[in-house]
Amino acid sequence: MSKKVRVGVLGVKRGTGLIDYSLDSCGDKFEVVAICDKWLEGLEEEKKKHPDGNVAFYPDFDEFIRHDMDAVVLANYGNEHAPFAVRCLDRGLHVYSEVTACQNMKEAVELVEAVERSGKIYALAEQYCFMPSPRKMKEYYEAGKLGELELADCEYAHDSSDAWHRLTFGDPNHWRNRAYATFYCTHSIGPILHATGLRPVTVTGYESAHNERRFSVGAKTAAFGVSMITLNNGAIIKALNGNLKGGTLWYAMYGSKGKMESSRSIANDGRVGHFMAELVGPTGRSPGRVCISPAT
Ligand SMILES: NC(=O)c1ccc[n+]([C@@H]2O[C@H](COP(=O)([O-])OP(=O)(O)OC[C@H]3O[C@@H](n4cnc5c(N)ncnc54)[C@H](O)[C@@H]3O)[C@@H](O)[C@H]2O)c1
């Protein structure tokens, strides 16, 4: 039997939540050997979940990274992934990084160079690519049913005001309070890039005005932002990200042979679980309509 991959986790809550889920589904392939978090209360909770002594606990990343392991799950602050990923790769560890990968071009280049130099696997954990509609869109796009992408529309705006104090630990300087509204963009654009294999060439971003609703929970930045992204085939993505009342999670793609989209949440019929496509049929005349719910 092949050896289990020995995994270390940086960041409890999200990090250990991901691991607990993965242990349930593929626990025969890996084991958790170390958990790191400078938040001592959170680390103590994890110790209670692993009383058998098989997991080492570290409040300090510099000690954690020296643990004997094969791969690291990075679920640390959303704006600090790249430098931690580079350090792990340089130590010969595979990396599974929570979103987002980096916060500027300098970090992006440093990350790519570290992956190339290490020869290790780097995986960006953009799970929304694997929701039912995005998966179906990828299947249709790769089969050529949509033709060439011309326009994509994608929206991820999470109404998380009620949980904001927990998400930010009540810290006015927490990264979520300081991130500009277009920063957390992978849940919207990730599925489009994943489905098409196309790559961004240029981007322009717009932020809404700051408002009292966001200030009242401690956020210092705008409620939402819109990015206009040109891709390497000339197609354009309109991406909405942010924190809007009611929220939205929606994907649409328009190609040379038709269009496909997930359902609008307000239609109350399955959201990203409901996939619809209107495509030019084999005769090129009447559009063939496909409606799949759930989009499995
Ligand atoms: N894919 C998704 O749907 C999704 C959902 C939630 C969070 N996330 C991502 O998961 C990550 C974690 O988010 P979160 O809300 O759980 O927590 P968070 O960003 O508030 O904190 C991360 C944890 O890492 C710890 N940490 C940070 N730097 C550290 C260091 N240098 N040494 C030791 N510990 C350190 C913190 O104490 C904290 O417990 C973020 O990148 C976020 O973007 C993704």
Q: Are residues 162 and 237 in the same domain?
A: yes
Q: Give the pLDDT confidence score for residue 282 in this predicted structure.
A: 61
Distance of CA 197 from the midpoint of ligand 1 (Å): 28
Q: Are residues 64 and 179 in the same domain?
A: no
Kindly tell me if the per-residue pLDDT of 294 is higher than 80: no
Q: Give the pLDDT confidence score for residue 270 in this predicted structure.
A: 84
Q: Are residues 165 and 41 in the same domain?
A: no
Kindly tell me if the per-residue pLDDT of 212 is higher than 80: yes
E strands of the chain, at which residues? 5-10, 30-36, 56-58, 71-74, 94-97, 122-124, 149-157, 200-207, 224-231, 236-242, 248-255, 258-262, 275-280, 287-292
Q: Are residues 269 and 170 in the same domain?
A: yes
Distance of CA 14 from the midpoint of ligand 1 (Å): 6
Residue-wise pLDDT for 2-35, tens only, equals 699 999 999 998 998 888 888 888 989 999 999 9
Of 242 and 268, the one with more pLDDT? 242
Distance of CA 74 from the midpoint of ligand 1 (Å): 8
Residue-wise pLDDT for 73-83, tens only, equals 999 999 999 99
CB 8, CB 46: distance < 8 Å: no
Q: Are residues 139 and 197 in the same domain?
A: yes
Q: Are residues 121 and 138 in the same domain?
A: no
Atom of ligand 1 nearest to the CA of 11: 24
Pocket of ligand 1 (CB under 6 A): 11-14, 36-39, 42, 61, 75-78, 98-99, 127, 167
Distance of CA 17 from the midpoint of ligand 1 (Å): 11
Total domains, the chain: 2
Q: Give the pLDDT confidence score for residue 287 in this predicted structure.
A: 64
Residue-wise pLDDT for 27-38, tens only, equals 899 999 999 999
Kindly tell me if the per-residue pLDDT of 283 is higher than 90: no
Segments forming the whole domain that contains residue 96: 5-125
What is the pTM (predicted TM-score) of this model? 0.94
Distance of CA 248 from the midpoint of ligand 1 (Å): 23
Kindly tell me if the per-residue pLDDT of 1 is higher than 60: no
Q: Are residues 150 and 267 in the same domain?
A: yes
Distance of CA 222 from the midpoint of ligand 1 (Å): 21
Q: Are residues 112 and 59 in the same domain?
A: yes
- Ligand 1, atom 19, lies closest to the CA of 77
- Ligand 1, atom 6, lies closest to the CA of 14
- Ligand 1, atom 31, lies closest to the CA of 61
Q: Are residues 138 and 281 in the same domain?
A: yes
Calpha distance 216→225 (Å, rounded) = 19
Residue-wise pLDDT for 154-210, tens only, equals 999 998 999 999 999 999 999 999 999 999 999 999 999 999 999 999 999 999 998
- pLDDT bin (cut points 50, 70, 90) of residue 285 is low
Atom of ligand 1 nearest to the CA of 77: 19
Calpha distance 241→187 (Å, rounded) = 9
Q: Are residues 170 and 262 in the same domain?
A: yes
The CATH number given to whatever domain includes residue 255 is 3.30.360.10
Residue-wise pLDDT for 228-241, tens only, equals 999 999 999 999 99
Give mean pLDDT, residues 71-94: 98
